[in-house]
Amino acid sequence: MQPYQAPGLRCPHCEAVHEVHTVLDATREAPQPGSLSICWKCRDIAVFAINAFGLVWLRKPSDAEQRMFDGHPQVRAALRSTIDAHTPVEAVRAHRRERRRR
């Protein structure tokens, strides 16, 4: 699976620039509107947004989305993998191992 490249994307929480994303959903090559992103720097969750012209950005989740993410086992597992890992690649590998176990 090729990494998804999006030059200039910034975390809406800490402003870190994230130009390369690993897409964990094997059925997709690129994030869809509403897909989640976990920031490697601040470990917070952002949501992909795409406008009619194909412009992609990351936004903060709404309160309702955040409550849904907080209670979602897969999101919690992805956050745990990210927090425990020393590098982004390690986090992705740990998360994939976790998904295969389920």
Whether 37 contacts 31, CB under 8 Å: yes
Q: Is residue 93 a contact point for Zn ion (CB under 5 A)?
A: no
**Residue given tokens 């993998």 in the structure block:** 81
Among 1, 16, 17, 89, binds Zn ion (CB under 5 A): 16
Binding mask 40-79 for Zn ion (x = CB under 5 A): -xx-------------------------------------
Alpha carbon distance 17, 27 (integer Å)? 26
Alpha carbon distance 96, 68 (integer Å)? 21
Binding residues for Zn ion, rule: CB under 5 A, are 11, 13-14, 16, 39, 41-42
